[in-house]
């Protein structure tokens, strides 16, 4: 009889995102970037995970700009619209609700005042180093037992610009004996006198992330918070605040840190510095891990979605090669990417022998005849890659077996007659000067050559035969085509 082994069914890998815990019947999620620059590859994880879950359960995503810092990470005015557009590009839909923390300051300040009034918060005028001492010693600082009236008076002074920046902070009253030092009377609001790029100098007291985010999540009715596990203590801090207000904290889920080999560690601030110092061209410099750069190189948004969904919500810290994303992208774009020839470092040769009288008709896509043809004039000189000459016995792809001697290529057969190497080539008549720009770590490598000059559309991605995928970025004044390397 059949052994058990034949009946045993192989286990399967579950695909897609796992079921969300908690009640997701009226799901509200949020994605909360700082508009101190456009979105990066890392941000796209938040966009994808949140928007995919919203799609799964018919929920909503709030796009919230956490722009409450004017000093360390000041917002860039243009970044608000960049991010809205990038969110839409990545997720394939626009955010359901878009809000800016800087527009909602009165709400935060009201809650802060209420917290003080209720005795759950206090104005602390210790220096940060002094407070750190108290925190480490699990001791209460002198400001902690001030009367509510005294705290309200200090609060007024903070808001009336009587107290200088750095002179006072509002703390949430927890317990100084809490085992986790991060939770002991954590800071909720501080003074910033540097004007905000969007709302000017209207406010003197600004909430910190943990406070602003907690209040706004409640205001928006957020049901699930999905964020990096570096924010686990934020959850704990905010839960204590919610207890003060008598609110129920959303379900929190986390992902671990992701490092992409090719990009290493980076931050929006560090990219901004690199651009300001001139070591990078701009936010879309192809070496950068920004969404703008990935778009410019020709990545499609589906690849980003598949990539992040495949990674899922693991709390593991991972380091992954860009190649993984590239393989997703290649699989998706290959069926719809037209072929062209790019000859890098070209050598000119002349064809000898009997030439066909009609043009050579090549498919724009080998698996999709409907895409049509590219027609080449085979008379006249042609270009081949210098490194392809070898012993001279090669097949010019889609054309003929030739033997190359010096500058001449003798046509031996149109049919494929043996196992000789197949190389790509290009009639000069059908070519134009081109430059392939290849990002390589912190460098940019450039390869000069000739590009098949047939129906080239700026912004389109082509598969350069035997080379790889690249996107046509622009034409220069002398008509040189500039291609940006995507991947092989």
DSSP 44-99: HHHHHHHHHHHHHHT-EEEEEE----SSSS---TTHHHHHHHHHHHHHSS--SEEE
Instruction: Write phi, then psi, for 264 (nearest 5 degrees).
Output: 60, -155
Closest distance to RNA from the beta carbon of 478 (Å): 29
Q: Is 6 in the site for RNA (CB under 7 A)?
A: no
> What is the distance between the alpha carbons of residues 335 and 402, in angstroms, rounded to a whole number?
31
Q: Residue 188 or 472: which CB sits closer to RNA? A: 188
> How far does the chain reach from its first CA to its final CA, in angstroms?
50
Q: Does 356 bind RNA (CB under 7 A)?
A: no
Q: What is the dihedral of CA 302, 305, 307, 311, to 10 degrees?
A: -160
Q: Is 361 in the site for RNA (CB under 7 A)?
A: no
How is residue 432 written in tokens? 């134009």
d(CA 399, CA 484): 28
Site string for RNA, 183-202 (x = CB under 7 A): ----x--xx-----------
CB-CB contact of 425 with 396 (8 Å): yes
Q: Which structure tokens are listed for 42? A: 């890392």
Q: Which of residues 83-122 bind RNA (CB under 7 A)?
A: none
Residue of the chain from 1, 13, 358, 418 that contacts RNA (CB under 7 A): 13
Q: Which is nearer to RNA, 129 or 477 (CB)?
A: 129
Cβ 290 to RNA shortest distance, Å: 16
* The only residue of 176, 198, 208, 428 in contact with RNA, by rule CB under 7 A: 208
Neighbours of 312 (CB within 10 A): 13
246 binds RNA (CB under 7 A): no
Q: Please identify, using beta-carbon distances, which residue of 98 and 480 lies nearer to RNA.
A: 98
Q: Is 314 in the site for RNA (CB under 7 A)?
A: yes
Residue 312 within binding range of RNA, rule CB under 7 A: yes
Q: Please report how close the Cβ of residue 14 comes to RNA at its closest, in angstroms.
A: 4
Q: Tell me how far apart the alpha carbons of residues 357 and 138 are, in angstroms, rounded to a whole number.
A: 91
Interaction of residue 373 with RNA, rule CB under 7 A = no
* 144 touching RNA, by CB under 7 A: no
**Of 37, 51, 59, 66, the one binding RNA by CB under 7 A:** 66
* CB of residue 199 to RNA, shortest distance in Å: 14
The C-alpha atoms of residue 411 and residue 394 are separated, in whole angstroms, by 10
- Determine the interface stretch with RNA among 81-89, 126-134, 144-152, 448-456 (rule: CB under 7 A): 126-134
Check the CA dihedral 447-449-451-452 and report its sign. negative
Residues 424-463 that bind RNA (CB under 7 A): 424, 463
Q: Which x/- pattern, by CB under 7 A, does the window 387-426 give for RNA?
A: -x--------xxx--------------xxx----xxxx--
The single residue among 52, 86, 465, 473 that binds RNA, judged by CB under 7 A, is 465
Bridge partners of residue 187, in order along the sequence = 171
List, in sequence order, every beta strand (DSSP E) within 138-261.
169-172, 187-191, 205-207, 224-228, 251-255, 258-260
Q: Which is nearer to RNA, 194 or 474 (CB)?
A: 194
How many residues are given for the chain? 488
The yes or no reply on residue 234 touching RNA (CB under 7 A) is yes
Radius of gyration (C-alpha) of the chain in whole angstroms: 30
Best CA proximity match to 252, nearest among 60, 17, 21, 18: 21
Quick one: which of 33, 46, 121, 427 contacts RNA (CB under 7 A)? 33
Considering CB under 7 A, how many residues would be counted as binding RNA?
86
Q: Which two tokens stand for residue 476?
A: 């220069």
Closest CA to 459 of 296, 344, 329: 296
* Segment interacting with RNA (CB under 7 A) among 131-139, 149-157, 282-290, 375-383: 131-139
Q: Minimum distance between the CB of residue 118 and RNA, rounded to whole angstroms?
A: 21
């Amino acid at each position: 009889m059949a052994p058990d082994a034949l009946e045993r069914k192989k286990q399967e890998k579950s695909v897609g995102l796992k079921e969300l815990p908690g009640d997701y019947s009226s799901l509200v999620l949020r994605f909360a970037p700082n508009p101190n620059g456009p979105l990066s590859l890392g941000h796209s994880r938040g966009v994808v995970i949140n928007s995919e879950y919203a799609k799964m359960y018919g929920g909503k995503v709030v796009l919230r700009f956490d722009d409450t810092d004017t000093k360390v990470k000041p917002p860039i005015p243009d970044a608000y619209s960049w991010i809205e557009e990038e969110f839409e590009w990545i997720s394939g839909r626009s955010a359901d609700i878009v809000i800016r923390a800087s527009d909602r300051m009165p709400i935060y300040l009201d809650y802060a005042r209420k917290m003080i009034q209720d005795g759950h918060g206090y104005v602390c005028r210790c220096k940060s180093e002094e407070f750190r001492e108290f925190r480490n010693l699990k001791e209460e600082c002198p400001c902690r037992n001030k009367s509510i009236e005294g705290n309200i008076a200090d609060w007024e002074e903070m808001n009336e610009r009587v107290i200088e920046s750095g002179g006072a902070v509002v703390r949430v009253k927890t317990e100084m004996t809490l085992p986790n030092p991060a939770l002991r009377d954590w800071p909720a609001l501080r003074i910033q006198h540097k004007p905000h790029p969007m709302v000017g100098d209207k406010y003197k007291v600004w909430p910190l992330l943990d406070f602003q985010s907690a209040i706004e999540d409640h205001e928006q009715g957020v049901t699930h918070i999905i964020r990096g596990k570096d924010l686990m203590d934020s959850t704990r801090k905010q839960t204590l605040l919610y207890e003060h207000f008598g609110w129920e904290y959303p379900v929190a889920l986390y992902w671990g840190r992701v490092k992409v080999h090719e990009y290493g560690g980076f931050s929006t601030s560090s990219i901004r510095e690199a651009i300001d110092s001139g070591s990078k061209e701009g936010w879309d410099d192809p070496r950068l891990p920004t969404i703008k750069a990935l778009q410019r190189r020709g990545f499609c948004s589906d690849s980003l979605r598949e990539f992040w969904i495949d990674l899922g919500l693991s709390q593991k810290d991972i380091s992954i090669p860009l190649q993984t994303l590239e393989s997703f992208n290649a699989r998706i774009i290959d069926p719809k990417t037209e072929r062209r020839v790019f000859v890098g470092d070209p050598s000119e040769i002349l064809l000898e022998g009997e030439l066909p009288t009609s043009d050579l008709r090549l498919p724009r896509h080998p698996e999709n005849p409907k895409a049509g043809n590219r027609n080449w004039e085979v008379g006249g000189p042609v270009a081949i890659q210098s490194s392809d000459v070898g012993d001279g016995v090669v097949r010019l792809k889609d054309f003929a077996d030739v033997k190359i001697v010096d500058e001449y290529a003798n046509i031996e057969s149109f049919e494929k007659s043996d196992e000789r190497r197949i190389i790509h080539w290009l009639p000069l008549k059908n070519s134009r000067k081109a430059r392939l720009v290849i990002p390589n770590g912190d460098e940019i490598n450039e390869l000069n050559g000739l590009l098949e000059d047939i129906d080239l559309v700026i912004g389109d991605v082509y598969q350069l035969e035997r080379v790889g995928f690249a996107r046509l970025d622009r034409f220069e004044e002398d008509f040189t085509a500039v291609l940006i390397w995507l991947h092989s």
